[in-house]
Amino acid sequence: MTRAQLDKQPHEVAAMFDRTAKRYDLVNDVISLGQVRLWRKAVAQAVDAGPGEIVLDLGAGTGTSTDSFTSLGARAIASDFSLGMLATGVRRRGGNSLTGQGVPFIAGDALNLPFADDAFDAVTISVALRNVHDTEQALREMLRVTKPGGKLVILEFSHVTVKSFDLVYREYLMKLLPKVAKVFGSNDDSYEYLAESIRDWHDQPALAKIIQRAGWERVAWRNLNLGIVAIHRGYKPQG
């Protein structure tokens, strides 16, 4: 378990996201310099879910990550344990948590999902696995609720692969990012935690090993923006 995960208990993580919920998407756009929109498109392409398929977006927050799947015709469910993030997403879609623009918002803990076995064609989690207290248990739960042969797609901050750029990026991450986030409305330690949790997170091969250990097969990854983020993919064994 990483240092940042050790420092914050699950209820503290949920409370932190409750506090940042209203400004979350704006701050995300600003601190990623708009790149988050491209990352979401790449995730939707990796999930590649068509009409009739059902996708679980875990740690979905306000549901912005979920929208990229419904725009391709799939059905998608947004699930998260921060009621503040879910409520913000529901409000933006006109108020009904079960029918708001076709995306149901379901409160649930990634470590103990409120869904049946083999329920989803694909399970995905965007910039949220890092925040879950027990990475491997979350990956096992995702495996349980995915249909045999179904897909896992993870978007997560990762490790920059070009050394000279890594030095610049780390300066931005640890010094500038928390300051920029504060200007746009975050007035607590949430974005210091964000920066630390990114710095302390597994690199690409280490995360791939954890995914395999949890039972997924054919695990592979693709770097975006020189490894600032990576998309990991895996499949649930057929039988």
Cα–Cα distance for residue pair 83/14, rounded to 1 Å: 8
Cα–Cα distance for residue pair 155/139, rounded to 1 Å: 13
- Determine how many CB atoms are found less than 10 A away from the CB of residue 167: 10
Single residue of 53, 80, 156, 196 touching ligand SAM by CB under 6 A: 80
Compute the least distance from the CB of residue 131 to ligand SAM, in Å.
4
Cα–Cα distance for residue pair 66/120, rounded to 1 Å: 14
Nearer to ligand SAM, 46 or 60 (CB): 60
Residue 109 among known ligand-binding residues: yes
CB 224 within 8 A of CB 230: yes
DSSP bridge partners of 75: 54
Q: Determine, following the binding rule CB under 6 A, whether residue 82 of this chain makes contact with ligand SAM.
A: yes
Nearer to ligand SAM, 42 or 111 (CB): 111
Q: Which stretch binds ligand SAM (CB under 6 A): 57-65, 69-77, 183-191, 228-236?
A: 57-65
Report the SS3 class of residue 147: strand
Nearer to ligand SAM, 15 or 174 (CB): 15
Per-residue CA distances from 17 to 6, 54, 85 (Å): 17, 26, 7
State the binding string over 99-128 for ligand SAM (x if CB under 6 A, else -). ----------xxx--------------xxx
Q: Determine, following the binding rule CB under 6 A, whether residue 68 of this chain makes contact with ligand SAM.
A: no
Query: Which residues contact residue 62 at a Cβ distance below 8 angstroms, ignoring those fewer than 6 apart?
Result: 21, 24, 25, 85, 86, 88, 89, 92
Nearer to ligand SAM, 140 or 165 (CB): 140
Q: Determine, following the binding rule CB under 6 A, whether residue 154 of this chain makes contact with ligand SAM.
A: no
Q: Determine, following the binding rule CB under 6 A, whether residue 89 of this chain makes contact with ligand SAM.
A: no
Question: Could you tell me which residues are annotated as the binding site?
Answer: 62, 80, 109-110, 126
Give me the residues that bind ligand SAM (CB under 6 A), please. Answer: 10, 13-14, 17, 59-61, 64-65, 80-82, 85, 109-111, 126-128, 131-132
